């Protein structure tokens, strides 16, 4: 599943660790999502969308 | 979280695994060296240290991705165990029937462990299927 998490994250000047801490996951998980090696749970996808103040489909593209 | 904390997170994850590994090696190794109580003591100390380190960490040490990895690893492990059991135990039973094999302590224990494991799996599957 494609996503534009890296661009949204860097636009806010956040490291992967920063974003992980903000949404309650590890830096490795953010890294894995950005590299499309891991699809987040629906709960985490909602948390990320809420954090970036957008819809899930704005971040994740199937 | 800055990069220093990210490194700390990574080190703590390694420490978690290392403490459990050391505990297991101490338990097995010292038991083999006829020092079982020392082995159990060291294992207990390592286990408590690992749990305290995990509980004392303010950040996220393990998350949903770790749970997902463990689910997949458990599935693969149980699958391999199932395939080996499905081939090995009927074969050993056939050999036993032909008088070419005798069930010893280890093979009998292995058969009971396999039967017990899959009985637990069946019960857990049944319970979960009723809940979902």
What pLDDT, on a 0 to 100 scale, did the predictor assign at position B102?
A: 96
Inter-chain contact B3–A32, Cβ cutoff 8 Å? Answer: no
**What residues of A are in contact with residue B63 (Cβ under 8 Å)?**
24-26, 29
Q: Quick one: CA dihedral A9, A12, A17, A23, positive or negative?
A: negative
Nearest to B5 among A17, A28, A40 (CB): A17
pLDDT in tens, B86-125: 999 999 999 999 999 999 999 999 999 999 999 999 999 9
Q: CB count, 10 Å around CB of B90? A: 10
Substitution target from B64, B69, B70 for chain A, most A beta carbons within 10 A: B64
Inter-chain contact B63–A40, Cβ cutoff 8 Å? Answer: no
Report whether B68 contacts A28 (CB < 8 A): no
Phi-psi region of B29 (alpha: psi -120 to 50; beta: other; left: phi over 0): alpha
Q: Which residues on neighbouring strands pair with residue A60, listed in sequence order?
A: A3
CA dihedral of residues A32, A37, A43, A49 (deg, nearest 10): 70
Inter-chain contact A38–B3, Cβ cutoff 8 Å? Answer: no
**What residues of B are in contact with residue A29 (Cβ under 8 Å)?**
63-65
**DSSP string over chain A:** -EE-HHHHHHHTT--HHHHHHHHTS-HHHHHHHHTTS-PPPHHHHHHHHHHTTS-HHHHEE-
pLDDT in tens, A8-43: 999 999 999 999 999 999 999 999 999 999 999 999
Cα separation, B94 vs A59, whole angstroms: 58
**Confidence bin at B30 (pLDDT 50/70/90):** very high
Inter-chain contact A26–B1, Cβ cutoff 8 Å? Answer: no
Report whether B14 contacts B26 (CB < 8 A): no
């Amino acid at each position: 599943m494609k996503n534009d998490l890296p661009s949204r994250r860097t636009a806010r000047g956040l490291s992967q660790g920063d974003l992980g801490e903000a949404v309650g996951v590890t830096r490795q998980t953010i890294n894995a999502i950005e590299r499309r090696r891991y699809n987040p749970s629906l709960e985490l996808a909602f948390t990320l969308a809420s954090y970036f103040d957008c819809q899930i489909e704005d971040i994740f593209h199937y | 979280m800055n990069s220093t904390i990210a490194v700390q997170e990574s080190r703590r994850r390694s420490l978690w695994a290392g403490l459990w590994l050391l505990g297991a090696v101490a338990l097995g190794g010292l038991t083999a060296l006829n020092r079982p109580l020392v082995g159990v003591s060291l294992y207990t100390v390592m286990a408590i240290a690992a749990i305290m380190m995990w509980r004392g960490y303010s950040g996220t040490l393990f998350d949903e991705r770790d749970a997902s990895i463990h689910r997949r690893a458990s599935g693969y492990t149980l699958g391999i165990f199932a395939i080996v059991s499905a081939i090995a135990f009927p074969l050993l039973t056939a050999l036993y029937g032909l008088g070419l094999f005798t069930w010893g302590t280890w093979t009998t224990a292995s058969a009971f462990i396999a039967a017990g494991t899959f009985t637990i799996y069946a019960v857990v599957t049944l319970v979960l299927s009723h809940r979902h």
